Structure formats: C-alpha cells, structure tokens
Structure 1
Amino acid sequence: MKENSWSKKSRKIVRGLIYAALFIGAVQFLFDPDPFNDYIGWGFLLMFWLIRMVHSAVRNLNDGHRNLAMLDVGMAIMSGLAVVAVWLTYFFGL
C-alpha cells in the first residue's frame, strides 16, 4: 500500500515540474525581444493547456463525471490542433 502512495506522490511532483517548466518556458519566450520566438512561447503555453486538459479528463472519467471528461477531451483536441498550427507556422511559415 505504501508503494502505491509513493507512486501517486512522485507522479504529482513530476507533473508539477512539467507544468512549471512549460509555463516558465512560455513566459520566457513570450517576453524576450525577438518577436519570432513568440510562436515557441505560444506552443509551450498550448502544450501546458493540452497536458492539463488530458489529465483533467482522466481524473473526471475516474470520478464518474463523463460529461466533464468529454468536455476536457474536446478542449484537449482543440488545443492539440492549435499546437499543430503553431508549430507548422513556426517551422514552415504556412
């Protein structure tokens, strides 16, 4: 039983570190002097939102809130499409 609680705690810590790294990276790229790096900042911010929505969907599905989980999945799909659009704009200038 203790191994399972440590696993939950370590997953929460790692998830928090990923969230913090993506958010700090987004802020750093959005506010630097090069305007072309704004695409990278928006990509980081959208990835933060995507990971957050997927985690929220899984948590809501486990709690039995199917409608909220479907809303989170829809928002995650929209965020994923936005991430693809931002990266295509950055790399190919489309």
Structure 2
Amino acid sequence: MKKEASAKTWNTLRNITLVIILFIFIRYLFDEDPFNDRIGWSVLILFWTFKGLFDAVEDKRSGNKKSMVANIVFVIAGLGILLWQGIQFFLYK
C-alpha cells in the first residue's frame, strides 16, 4: 500500500514538473519577440532532459538496465546541449 502511494506521488510530481516546463516552452516560443524563440527551444531541450531523467529513475526501479543506460546517455547529451547554449548566450549577448 505504501509503495503504491509513493509511486502515485512520484508520477504526480513528475507530471506537474513536465507540464510546467511545457507551459514555459509555449510561452517563450509563441510570443512576439523573436529572441525568445531561442529560449523556448532551450526550455524544450530541458523538458526532454527532465523526461529522460525521470524515465531513467523509473527504469532503475523496474530493473530495466539497458533502457536506463540509454536514458542516461540522452540526459547527458541534453545537458551538454544546454551547457553549450548557455555559454553561447552569455558570451555573445
């Protein structure tokens, strides 16, 4: 019973986090300032990075090691892209 409640709480927090990130993406991508499109796409990459991280944690819990490793590689690639975009943003602003 307690394990089910924990899983339900985890899924709720995961979904709330991902929905908030999607709303931020939509807000920045579809506004009138063209500079914010770059921020919007970076937030979308952040969304996919968080989703990969949450999926990796779920795969670890279920014992699916191959999928977990693939998700970790995906998260590392996403963080690398975000780091690269952040450096470009601050250097060329």
Which TM bucket (shorter chain)? 0.7 to 0.9
Alpha-carbon distance between aligned partners in 1 of 2:63 and 2:23, rounded to the nearest angstrom: 33
2:25–2:40 Cα contact (<8 Å) kept = yes
- What percentage of aligned pairs have identical amino acids? 26
| Whole-angstrom CA distance in 1 between matches of 2:4 and 2:34 | 45
TM score, norm. by length of structure 2:
0.84
Q: Runs of 5+ in structure 1 lacking a partner?
A: none
Alignment match, 1:93: 92
Letter in 2 for 1:9: K
Gaps of 5+ in 2: none
The Cα RMSD (Å) is 1.8
Q: TM-score, normalised by structure 1?
A: 0.83
Q: Deviations over 1:28-52 (max 9, x none)?
A: 1111111111121112111111111
Other-structure match for 2:69: 70
Q: Which residue identity is paired with 2:39?
A: I
Q: What letter is aligned with 2:45?
A: L
Deviations 1:1-29 (CA, angstroms, capped at 9, x unpaired): 44x44333233222211101101111111
State the distance in 2 between where 1:90 and 1:19 align: 24
1:55 aligned to 2:54? Answer: yes
User: Map of 1:28-47 to 2, 5 A cutoff?
Assistant: 28-47=27-46
Q: Who is 1:81 aligned against? A: 80
